[in-house]
């Protein structure tokens, strides 16, 4: 477990470092990077749905599922650009940190404690892992506030905001897990050590970022 967790953490650190670099450089590089993520994830989404929709169902629903993925990822792409330009680059980075912390917390608690399964959609997901995700998702709030990087105070509302982001992220993770299980594939790809494909790593983010955008637009948070 610890070897796999170490690999997972190192991959997360590398991706977050890369994300920080692209975010702080300029808007054009950021947009280009998000577009690359969009392209790779769409390809992985198409690939993982081949066994069930293309082969087993003889192409029935394959085009529709690709279009669904295209729309899903395009919303993520637009939401990312809007959050970056209309709020701030630091805020966007904060959301990424919350999602990553949620993912690490879920993995750590799930492997360390185990226990009752969360859902049949993903047999590896446990209730303890979900709780760990919620707990770890609040850590970036303390980190960013301590360094005065973001205008978010230590309040119950902002802690709840982090937990809701984690909820969005876990929902996205479960959604992709459902389609992986449906197609009987373990990972969406193999380019990231400890994670599999890029979509395996950002599945929560591509659901959380549009969710955060909605919360901001509606001024709920």
Task: Note the pLDDT tens digit of each residue in 8-38.
Answer: 677 777 877 888 889 888 899 999 999 999 9
155 Cβ contact list (under 8 Å, min separation 6): none
Tell me the residue range of the domain where 143 lies.
Answer: 2-217
83 Cβ contact list (under 8 Å, min separation 6): 91, 92, 95, 209, 212, 213, 216
The pLDDT value recorded for residue 144 is: 92
The pLDDT value recorded for residue 94 is: 94
Q: pLDDT (tens digit, 9 = 90+) per residue, 113-133?
A: 877 787 777 777 888 989 999
Q: pLDDT confidence of 163, banded at 50, 70, 90?
A: very high
Asked if pLDDT for residue 190 goes beyond 60, the answer is yes
Calpha distance 201→193 (Å, rounded): 10
Average pLDDT rounded to a whole number, residues 198-214: 93
Average pLDDT rounded to a whole number, residues 146-154: 83
Q: What is the rounded (10 degree) CA torsion for 65, 70, 73, 77?
A: -170
Q: pLDDT (tens digit, 9 = 90+) per residue, 57-85?
A: 989 999 999 999 999 999 999 999 999 99
181-206 per-residue burial string, b: 16 or more CB within 10 A, e: under 16: ebbebeebbeebebbbbbbbbbbbbb
The pLDDT value recorded for residue 80 is: 96
Residues of the chain with pLDDT > 70: what percent?
95
The pLDDT value recorded for residue 98 is: 95
Number of domains making up the chain: 1
The pLDDT value recorded for residue 112 is: 83
Mean pLDDT of the chain: 89
Structural contact between residues 168 and 174, judged by C-beta atoms closer than 8 angstroms: no
Structural contact between residues 125 and 117, judged by C-beta atoms closer than 8 angstroms: yes
The pLDDT value recorded for residue 1 is: 54
The pLDDT value recorded for residue 15 is: 78
Calpha distance 98→101 (Å, rounded): 5
């Amino acid at each position: 477990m610890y070897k796999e967790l170490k690999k997972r953490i190192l991959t997360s650190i590398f991706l977050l470092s890369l994300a920080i670099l692209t975010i702080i450089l300029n808007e054009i590089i950021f947009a280009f990077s998000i577009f690359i993520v969009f392209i790779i994830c769409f390809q992985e989404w198409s690939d993982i749905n081949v066994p069930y929709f293309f082969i087993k169902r003889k192409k029935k629903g394959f085009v529709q599922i690709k279009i669904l993925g295209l729309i899903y990822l395009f919303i993520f792409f637009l939401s990312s650009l809007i959050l970056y330009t209309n709020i701030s680059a630091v805020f966007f980075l904060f959301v990424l940190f919350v999602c990553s912390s949620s993912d690490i917390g879920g993995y750590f608690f799930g492997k360390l404690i185990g226990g009752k399964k969360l859902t049949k959609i993903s047999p590896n997901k446990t209730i303890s892992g979900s709780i760990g995700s919620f707990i770890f998702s609040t850590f970036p709030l303390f980190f960013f506030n301590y360094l005065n990087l973001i205008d978010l105070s230590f309040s119950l509302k902002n802690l709840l905001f982090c937990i809701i982001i984690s909820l969005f992220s876990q929902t996205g993770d479960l959604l992709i897990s459902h389609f992986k299980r449906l197609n009987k594939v373990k990972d969406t790809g193999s380019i990231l050590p400890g994670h599999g494909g890029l979509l395996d790593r950002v599945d929560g983010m591509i659901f959380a970022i549009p969710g955060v955008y909605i919360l901001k637009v509606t001024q709920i948070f």
